[in-house]
Structures are given as C-alpha cells and as structure tokens.
Amino acid sequence: MKKIVKNGIIVTATDTYQADLLIENGKIAAIGHDFPLGGAELIDTRGSYVFPGGIDPHTHLEMPFGGTVSKDDFETGTIAAAFGGTTTVIDFCLTNKGEPMKNAIQTWHAKSKDKAVIDYSFHLMIGEINEDVLEELPVVMEEEGITSFKVFMAYKNVFQADDGTLFRTLLAAKELGGLVMVHAENGDVIDYLVNQALEQGNTDPIYHALTRPPEVEGEATGRAAQLTGLANSQLYVVHVSCAEAVEKIAAARRKGYDVWGETCPQYLVLDQTYLEKPNFEGAKYVWSPPLREKWHQDVLWNALKNGDLQTLGSDQCSFDFNGQKDLGKGDFSKIPNGGPIIEDRVSILFSEGVKKGRISLNQFVDIVSTRNAKLFGLYPQKGTIAVGADADIVIFDPNVERTISAETHHMAADYNPFEGMQVTGEPVSVLSRGEFVIREKQFVGKIGKGQYIKRARYNSSATDATDKVSN
C-alpha cells in the first residue's frame, strides 16, 4: 500500500528541509509537497525528524564466545534494533580454520533467516589465508555479496590471526574490492599481562582494563594502518576506544591511507571506573577494548566531529549478568566480553552528540547511517532519503525524554549498561522497506520479514574522498 509521510523535517547526511515522502512498493517514490492522497495511507509525523534508518555495522547476534553464546539472537536483537531506530544490521560471521567458509555462512543464514525483523547482512571473519581461502573469497563475494572481512589481532588462541594473515587479507581485499576490518589490540602482549595479573592474584573485573591498556590498542591500530599503506589497501578499525588509536588513524589518513575508524556508544559515555563497581557488577562493563579513563571520551567526540572517526557501531554482543557474565567470578579473563547496546546506539548519539552540541544533526545521520551504507556497499539503496532508495525510515521525536533501563528495553539481556541514563530524543515509528516495524512505539513488525542483503564491493570513490583526509 502507498504511504505518504507528511509534515516531517527530512534530515540526511547533508541537508535538513521540510518535505513529504511518497512511499510505493517499499521504496521512496517521490519527495515533495501536497501529494494527492489517491488511496495512500497518510502518516502525520507532526513535525518530527524523518531520517534514514540506522545501519549498525557491528553486531554479534547469537554468537558463540567466551564459553557461552551471546544472548540476543536475530529475533530479539533486530526487534531491539528497530525500537532504537536501526533498520539494517551487519553481523560478524565466524569461520573455523580448515573448514570451507561457505559452511560458516550457511550457519549464519540458518540463525538469521525466519528471525530477523529488519534487513541484515554479514561480514566474514578471516582466521587464516591459504590457497583454499583465496579460491573461495571471490566466490563468496560474488554469490553472497559479502564484501568486508574481519581480522582479529587479539583473543590469542581463539580468534587471533598473525600479521602475515592480516597483510595477505589486505592484499586480497585490494585485488577483489573488499574492506578489511580489524579488532586492533596486541593479543600477545595482552596474553602476557593477563597471565601476570592472575599469577599475582589479581582476579577482579578492573584487571580486564588494566591488562589491556591503551598502548596495546594504539600499537595494533598503528601496525594495521602501516600494513594497509604498504598493501595500498583499505582498512576499517572497529570499536576504537582511546586517544592512542585515534592518533594512529588520523596520522594514517593524513598520509592519504584509506583508513576508517568506528567507535561505540559505551566508549563515548562510560569510563573505566565502572569496572570497579562492587559485588562483581564491574563485569557488566567488560568489553574489549576496555572502557578507558574519562578524558578519552573528549578525544572520541572530537574525532567524530572532525572526521578522524566516521562511524558508530554498537558492537552488540550481549550476555546476562546472572548466568553468563558470572562465568568470570574469581577470574576476570573468563568474563564474556560484550554488552547489550544495539537499542540505544542511535538515541545516545543524538542525545549526547546533537543535543549537547558536540556534532551536527547531519553529522549524526552520517555517523549512524549514511557513512556505513557507503563504506559497506549498501548506498544508495540504504542510508539516505532519496527517490529510489529503500523506504527504511525513522520518524524521530527530538524532544521526548526517557530513562534507559533494562525494565523497559527490548534486548534479551538482564541488564542495561546505561541503566538510569536520561536521553532526549526517541524513535516514534520505524519503517523497513515501507512497512511499519515500530508504530507509535509499539512493535508491529513480522518475525522473519527482514531480508538478507547482498552488498556491493568497496568503492573508495563512493565514500567521499574529500572526507578521507582530515586536518
């Protein structure tokens, strides 16, 4: 059925203007004024913002990790994402060494199909490079539309790959048109520091942060950036948490290297002192990289503002406090790493960023949606309000206030790391390909309606070359 979205303020990564939208066959058919009703459903936004659905480039739904499986799956995770104004997620498909990658991709399809309520796509983990992998990569790109590859520089003896693997992945990505993503921490040094702490009897959650200091993130980020320059390839650094890593990304970009950086809401508003909470509560705040001293937050905000960092991912990887995080009682290294963030990613950036004057409204749209679409081969099908684009739309009340709480969130995890935080601005209704998923703050979507999206190859000219070099 046709829809007319009326009386909204359209916000894109570049413009803010008053107009109506005509939606037909799941797409934005026209942008203008006074469309004849002609049997269309009228949606009066009453002056709310209307912006492209958020694109979360970093999720781990139902992922086996840390001796357990992340709590939110493609059903609960995508419902929560939709409540928060996200209409596409790109999840990390884990591969196993020695096994065809297509097996791993099938596993991820099986988890997501018939469950997701919004559209989704996959990144592919590269744990090793050999002739089989090099043969399979172009096939995966062609058949599955998976055009981004993740290399872990940390999690020794679990996911960690060596520098040779990273370098060869960068070379392959250059040749094939892929974007290489890195978890940038020096896993070998962390392994040494963790063992040392445990030998000294230091087992509390705070030692998670103390054994992964900013230097190990900065070092790995710089190394990955240098290897990218050497390979003349392209790199996206996930979950940047500290000044040391921002400096390396900014320096690489000044040299003209094709290097991009993502941060996450937790690093923008929470700090290392949360890991010191009593009664093991600090475990709720265990991420890798860890939360940092508070002053790093200003560096991250400035980097988003000046373009040294370009995107915000949730790094959604939720675990219950009771029954999952407590696997690490008495040994911080066994606390499952990650938290429930997917629902609050957009609101936190709006409230803490736009409302507090740290970034502009158009930058906000770029950071939560448009830039991710461009980097990950979804643009202009997604990530913008334009004729021909998917009608993935958020109708957002910029003035409503709410308090974040596990009591009211829609994620499956039994706590919310932002518990009690006041935010201004909230999605009222969310449409995915022209259909309501959230209507007046109620879930009205259909389980399994989300589609798997094949993505285009990395195209550096589509990412705005002018934004690549910051001053």
Interface residues with ligand URP (CB under 6 A) are 60, 183, 239, 287-288, 315, 317, 337-338
Whether 391 contacts 2, CB under 8 Å = no
Q: Considering the complex, state which of residue 35 and residue 92 has its C-beta at the smaller distance from ligand URP.
A: 92
Q: How far is the CB of 337 from Zn ion (least distance, A)?
A: 8
Distance CA 299, CA 451 (A): 37
Q: How far is the CB of 208 from ligand URP (least distance, A)?
A: 10
CA 327 from centre of chain:
26
Q: Considering the complex, state which of residue 134 and residue 193 has its C-beta at the smaller distance from Zn ion.
A: 193
Ramachandran category for residue 315: left, alpha or beta (phi over 0 → left; psi -120 to 50 → alpha):
left
CA 113 from centre of chain:
20
Nearest C-alpha neighbor of 94 from the set 115, 63, 54, 68? 63
Whether 194 contacts 211, CB under 8 Å = yes
Q: Considering the complex, state which of residue 272 and residue 337 has its C-beta at the smaller distance from ligand URP.
A: 337
Distance CA 290, CA 293 (A): 10
> Residue 453 is encoded by which pair of tokens?
């999206």
Q: Is residue 208 part of the contact set for Zn ion (CB under 5 A)?
A: no
Q: In 3-state terms, what secondary structure has residue 62?
A: coil
Segment near Zn ion (CB under 5 A); pick from 207-215, 278-286, 310-318, 386-394: 310-318
Q: Considering the complex, state which of residue 342 and residue 430 has its C-beta at the smaller distance from ligand URP.
A: 342
Ramachandran category for residue 98: left, alpha or beta (phi over 0 → left; psi -120 to 50 → alpha):
left
Segment near Zn ion (CB under 5 A); pick from 38-46, 188-196, 315-323, 456-464: 315-323
Q: Which residues share a beta bridge with 148?
A: 179
Q: Considering the complex, state which of residue 57 and residue 445 has its C-beta at the smaller distance from ligand URP.
A: 57
Segment near Zn ion (CB under 5 A); pick from 158-166, 181-189, 202-210, 394-402: 181-189
Q: Which does residue 287 bind out of ligand URP, Zn ion, none, counting CB within 5 to 8 angstroms by kind?
A: ligand URP
Q: How far is the CB of 111 from Zn ion (least distance, A)?
A: 16
Segment near Zn ion (CB under 5 A); pick from 2-10, 142-150, 175-183, 217-225: 175-183
Q: How far is the CB of 191 from ligand URP (least distance, A)?
A: 15
Q: How far is the CB of 338 from Zn ion (least distance, A)?
A: 7
Q: Is residue 183 part of the contact set for Zn ion (CB under 5 A)?
A: yes
Strands 148-152 and 119-125: what pairing? parallel
Q: How far is the CB of 98 from ligand URP (least distance, A)?
A: 22
Whether 259 contacts 226, CB under 8 Å = no
Segment near Zn ion (CB under 5 A); pick from 71-79, 115-123, 177-185, 426-434: 177-185
Whether 203 contacts 330, CB under 8 Å = yes
Q: Is residue 56 part of the contact set for Zn ion (CB under 5 A)?
A: no
> Residue 196 is encoded by which pair of tokens?
């040392």
Ramachandran category for residue 140: left, alpha or beta (phi over 0 → left; psi -120 to 50 → alpha):
alpha
Distance CA 433, CA 7 (A): 20
Q: Considering the complex, state which of residue 185 and residue 204 has its C-beta at the smaller distance from Zn ion.
A: 185
Q: Which does residue 337 bind out of ligand URP, Zn ion, none, counting CB within 5 to 8 angstroms by kind?
A: ligand URP
Q: How far is the CB of 159 from ligand URP (least distance, A)?
A: 8
Q: Considering the complex, state which of residue 44 and residue 276 has its C-beta at the smaller distance from ligand URP.
A: 276
- Binder of Zn ion out of 315, 344, 390, 397 (CB under 5 A): 315
Q: How far is the CB of 400 from ligand URP (least distance, A)?
A: 30
CA 97 from centre of chain:
25
Segment near Zn ion (CB under 5 A); pick from 114-122, 143-151, 205-213, 307-315: 307-315
CA 403 from centre of chain:
22
Segment near Zn ion (CB under 5 A); pick from 72-80, 193-201, 227-235, 308-316: 308-316
Distance CA 264, CA 210 (A): 20
Nearest C-alpha neighbor of 196 from the set 211, 214, 185, 212? 211
Q: Considering the complex, state which of residue 299 and residue 335 has its C-beta at the smaller distance from ligand URP.
A: 335
Q: How far is the CB of 245 from Zn ion (least distance, A)?
A: 12
Whether 424 contacts 403, CB under 8 Å = no
Q: How far is the CB of 183 from ligand URP (least distance, A)?
A: 5
What does the binding site for Zn ion look like in residue numbers (CB under 5 A)?
183, 315
